[in-house]
């Protein structure tokens, strides 16, 4: 399976000894396509909380003129979708305002290989598995970025969710607010 081949590459944390001679050596891989993290403000209060290193953000990974994002729905199929780069407001609504883009690195994967990777991730990031704190768009962006360029997203992008997850009382309060 394609995803298993990815995991055998030593640059992705796999065992180089287990790689076959037909696998590319990480040093020989050509880095050519930029991997960009696009970040969106979801609430206006971010302008006040950003100096504290906190905010409520949406993110997506852009490459090959496509931005890959993740969101929830009530079905068991993928929650991953594609949008025009930096155009979250048109797709996700007025509340989703573009903030900035961060170059994370470069990938050697072709556009077709990226599509297969996204399809495989779609098995993990299904719509009904979305959770605002434990499995959100930023978790997806981080996973995809690590596969594509072996680098995660900046920690501040998902810091609020991490903080809330570390304080069970806050997560319970938030869950009650969201579920009514």
Show the domains of the chain with their CATH numbers.
30-179 (3.90.1720.30)
For the cut 70, the answer to whether the pLDDT of residue 100 exceeds it is yes
CA 107 from centre of chain: 15
Residues 6 or more apart from 139 whose CB is under 8 A from it? 70, 158
Angle (CA) 88 73 163, round 5°: 70
Percent of the chain, pLDDT > 90? Answer: 57
For the cut 70, the answer to whether the pLDDT of residue 81 exceeds it is yes
Determine the number of helices (DSSP H) and then strands (DSSP E) in the chain.
7, 5
Sign (positive or negative) of CA dihedral 129, 88, 101, 11 = positive
Q: What pTM, to 2 d.p., does this model score? A: 0.78
Q: How far apart are CA 39 and CA 100, in angstroms?
A: 5
Residues with catalytic annotation?
A: 58, 137
Better-scored residue on pLDDT, 170 or 152: 152
First to last CA, the chain: 42
């Amino acid at each position: 399976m394609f995803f298993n081949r990815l995991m055998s590459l030593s640059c992705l944390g796999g065992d180089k000894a287990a790689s076959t001679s037909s696998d590319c050596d990480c040093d020989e891989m050509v880095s050519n396509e930029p991997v960009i993290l696009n970040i969106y403000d979801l609430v206006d209060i971010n302008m006040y909380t950003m100096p504290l290193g906190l905010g409520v953000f949406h993110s997506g990974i852009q490459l090959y003129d496509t931005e890959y994002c993740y969101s929830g729905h009530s079905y068991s199929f993928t929650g991953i979708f594609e949008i025009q780069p930096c155009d979250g407001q048109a797709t996700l609504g007025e509340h989703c305002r573009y903030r900035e883009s961060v170059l994370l690195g470069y990938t050697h994967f072709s556009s077709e290989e990226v599509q297969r990777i996204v399809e495989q991730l779609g098995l993990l990031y299904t719509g009904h598995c979305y959770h605002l704190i434990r499995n959100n768009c930023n978790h997806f962006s981080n996973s995809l970025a690590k596969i594509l360029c072996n680098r995660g997203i900046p920690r501040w992008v998902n810091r609020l969710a991490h903080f809330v997850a570390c304080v069970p009382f806050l997560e319970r309060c938030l869950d009650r607010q969201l579920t009514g």
